[in-house]
Amino acid sequence: MLNATRSSASWEALGHAVAAFEIAQAYSLERSQFGSTIGSYQLVQNLLANMLAEVTAMYTMCVRSAQLADAGQLTGPMSSLLKLHTAKKSRWVCQSSRDILAGNGLLLERHVARHLTDMEIVHTYEGTEFIQSLLVGRELTGVSAFSASKKHKERLQG
């Protein structure tokens, strides 16, 4: 079940990232500063390009995970890696969108703050990126960081 819900959360994160990116891109062509649209400035173009790169990576991962799920090959660690990456990167895309819109990114009619807040929720449910990293780490090392150490267990047992 967690494979499916973590994958669903990843698609949701992708949706928020796409929306935030599209809002920022449109705003960069609309908002003028010092006689030019802010989209003509290097820092804004850099942010937009990096936001698109993250959205594209998230999309690719979500599509591949859906293919693996359909084939019955999506594992728990794979879905944890997917959720870790998409939640983390979507939060960054939403934050970057808010940065591009500056104070306007907080206005309800711009929706960026809503996407950013929703991403805080997505980040939390089905396990934060920190929990997901422990699940992936256990797969990589064969050692669970969730369980107490042998010495700690012995102390607890007296």
To the query of whether residue 126 is one of the catalytic residues in this protein, the response is yes
The token pair that represents 102 in the structure block: 């500056």
Q: How many residues does the chain have?
A: 158
Give the CA count within 13 Å in the CB-facing half-sphere of 89.
Answer: 27
Q: Give the Cα separation of 140 and 92 in Å (integer).
A: 26
The token pair that represents 1 in the structure block: 């079940």
Q: Give the Cα separation of 86 and 135 in Å (integer).
A: 15
| Active-site residue, selected from the candidate residues 12, 54, 126, 129 | 126
Helix residue ranges per DSSP H, 71-111 = 76-101
Residue 154 one-letter amino acid: E
Looking at the DSSP assignment, which residues form a beta bridge with residue 36? 33
Spell out the residues 6+ positions from residue 149 whose beta carbon is closer than 8 angstroms to its own. Answer: none
- Residues involved in catalysis: 126
